[in-house]
Amino acid sequence: MADVWRFLFLDGEFAPRAFILAGLTLEQVGSRPGAATHSIYEELWHTVDWQKIVLERDELALQHWEENVSFPPGPAPENEAAWQELVESFLALSERAVELAQDEAWLQSEEGADNPGFTWRNALEQLAVHNAYHLGKIVMLRQFLGCWKPRLTHDGSQ
């Protein structure tokens, strides 16, 4: 089952998540091209915040969501270190999801008292879909910015 979760969170179906987030400048991650409502930075910040809520029960992140502050105050990180920290946090939390999913009993257990019958498997599946949605938006933003070069598949096609 671990391979399925690694596929969902890190490597599968579309470009590896580390590849999607690699090779970007601060200018690129802070740009809102055309009619885009969010930058790459904002999309990833939002995604990391939700991962913290689901996987870590992060109260500060949850408070942001409850106060309808689900995106950062600006389109760009303060500096390169802040951007790299955000990328590393996203990847580490994705690895954590894969690690947690190794425990079949945990996957079948209820996620919380607020959602009777809603299991951790359900929560991870929803988190994987949420991540995929925002990563797709990041790829689209990269395309708009002209900084997306898709990887070639094993047979040389794109």
Structure confidence by residue, pLDDT tens digits, 81-109: 999 999 999 999 999 999 999 999 999 99
With CA atoms as reference, report the closest residue to 58 among 22, 19, 96, 23: 96
Q: Could you name the CATH architecture of 2-145?
A: Up-down Bundle (1.20)
DSSP code, position 116: T
Compute the distance between CA of residue 57 and CA of residue 36 in angstroms, rounded to an integer.
30
Locate 74 and state its tokens. Answer: 């600006």
pLDDT, the chain, mean = 89
Per-residue pLDDT, 48: 96
Compute the distance between CA of residue 24 and CA of residue 58 in angstroms, rounded to an integer.
28
Cα three-residue angle 64-65-66, rounded to 5 degrees: 95
Tell me the one-letter amino acid at 158.
Answer: Q
Compute the distance between CA of residue 50 and CA of residue 123 in angstroms, rounded to an integer.
11
- Model confidence at 116, pLDDT cuts 50, 70, 90, reads confident
pTM strictly above 0.75: yes
